[in-house]
Structure 1
């Protein structure tokens, strides 16, 4: 039996396409760091790699030079994935789902995080006072993710650096749903291994009909306080819906053409080699 957690966020009726994209991106950064695929936070990784790139004719050890190549490649790939996802989320129609799989290959993944996106988001130009700003939404979402006892059980066992694969699910009914083929390729799908841990983050609104209207949807504070406190494990039949990533006539799965390879910090004589990048 797979380890299966479903977390109902129910914030879909509070999101614009911009805030939805920001939350997805921050969750990916959060998972990359929390699951030890990058040894530093995304912000610090970006800072030290940028600092090192700015240093010309720097003399460094073989370990430092090699670590820089590994870290900068991982950052470049992660940034490409992030930019590609933001582009797709900002399209005429949202992806139905985004998956982050951690493992040597998709068919041998150790953990998979399935983000169920809202059916539709508010337009970015919507200025209703009931829509919370990005910072408030993110603060509440991540506060509850970090303090979730159920999610902490997944994070309790460390995951060695491996590959991060990203997939998105789209409805191919109309031509506007075609993805950018420079960034994603169509896949038939994968059967998730039985030993894989599955975490489902459900962004869908309780009242999806309200999303199309900027006047009658629920106030952010009421929704976030009521639903984010109810993080729970579901072991019922809904688990069966998440055992596969499968393209059908009604839905198509696409895989990012870039894969981020996780890496560990490089320690020499008790110190990280990145210290020299910051000091140079």
Structure 2
């Protein structure tokens, strides 16, 4: 019984970067975190950059006159399909985050189905971001933010305990949560509405919270009154509402919020090793 109770308690990683982000940089960070997670959790056997490189090189050699082994061709089909679906997911997420209204949350589940997921990563996005054209001194560039974030992720002891447990390749499903005021902004070709479901009690849940404690740093972009605490109150109330309506053990639509699931599913895969060497080494030599 104690082990079940332990699993119900989410691992929380506070990034506190919301006041440093534009909507564009927020999208970039979400994308990089997903690339990090799929490699770290062994859903792809190489980093995203290396996967992209070897698949591209193999594709460019497809029309050349030389035979490949069945294992090599099969692995190329698996790797290229995984990369294509992952890229579609990342592209559609960027489209939604860079739109007029940032989703409240991006949720990544790893498992055979969303109902039987083994791990859940819930990215709680900022309630507000700087406008892309803003010149506030509080905005940090992508590279600086990424260094800070990944330093936090790799040095988190609690997250390290999650990563310590090996995970076999499985399916990755991606969800976004939006308030009912912004539903018309969803691209229904990329995300489809879902009623949602309870997360299994045995699932490991990780919360990665982007939100900031410094709402006043966003006043230049979000029509806050500079004097007084009105701006902070608006931000705090929005944050409180989001927390009160969010049971992190469920992904369920309500009257106030709606969940959408990505039309694309990424299937994880293992490396293909022949005679002690990855078949991708042959792609690089061809």
TM-score of the aligned structures, taking structure 2 as reference length: 0.87
1:23 aligns with 2:29: yes
Alignment of 1:160-179 (within 5 A): 160-174=168-182, 177-179=184-186
Q: CA deviation at 1:156?
A: 0.3
1:198 aligns with 2:205: yes
1:158 aligns with 2:166: yes
| Contact 2:101-2:182 within 8 A present in 1 as well | no
Name the residue aligned to 2:49: 43
Tell me how far apart the structure 2 counterparts of residues 200 and 130 of structure 1 sit (CA, whole Å): 24
Tell me how far apart the structure 2 counterparts of residues 205 and 198 of structure 1 sit (CA, whole Å): 21
- Residue-by-residue CA offset, 1:255-276 (whole Å, 9 max, x unaligned): 0000000000000111100001
Q: CA deviation at 1:191?
A: 0.5
SS of equivalent to 1:190:
strand
Runs of 4+ in 1 over 3 A off after TM superposition: none
| Contact 2:128-2:218 within 8 A present in 1 as well | yes
Q: Compute the RMSD of aligned alpha carbons.
A: 1.8
For structure 1, which segment, 53-62 or 64-73, has the greater mean C-alpha deviation from structure 2 after superposition? 53-62
- Number of matched pairs: 258
Q: CA deviation at 1:129?
A: 2.6
1:270 aligns with 2:253: no
Tell me how far apart the structure 2 counterparts of residues 213 and 145 of structure 1 sit (CA, whole Å): 30
Tell me how far apart the structure 2 counterparts of residues 202 and 152 of structure 1 sit (CA, whole Å): 17
Name the residue aligned to 1:68: 76
Name the residue aligned to 2:232: none
Match of 1:212 among 219, 244, 251: 219
Name the residue aligned to 1:180: 187
Tell me how far apart the structure 2 counterparts of residues 132 and 155 of structure 1 sit (CA, whole Å): 28
- Residue-by-residue CA offset, 1:108-142 (whole Å, 9 max, x unaligned): 00000000000111011112233111100000110
Tell me how far apart the structure 2 counterparts of residues 243 and 212 of structure 1 sit (CA, whole Å): 33
Tell me how far apart the structure 2 counterparts of residues 130 and 187 of structure 1 sit (CA, whole Å): 37
SS of equivalent to 1:110:
strand
Q: CA deviation at 1:207?
A: 3.1
- Residue-by-residue CA offset, 1:161-187 (whole Å, 9 max, x unaligned): 000000000112245x43101100000
- Residue-by-residue CA offset, 1:207-257 (whole Å, 9 max, x unaligned): 335323269x9xxxxxxxxxxxxxxxxxxx99x820100101110000000
| Contact 2:138-2:217 within 8 A present in 1 as well | no
SS of equivalent to 1:79:
helix
Tell me how far apart the structure 1 counterparts of residues 135 and 142 of structure 2 sit (CA, whole Å): 13
Tell me how far apart the structure 1 counterparts of residues 180 and 80 of structure 2 sit (CA, whole Å): 35
Name the residue aligned to 1:117: 125
Name the residue aligned to 2:237: none
SS of equivalent to 1:6:
strand
Where structure 2 has 5 or more consecutive residues not aligned to the other structure, the ranges are 225-242
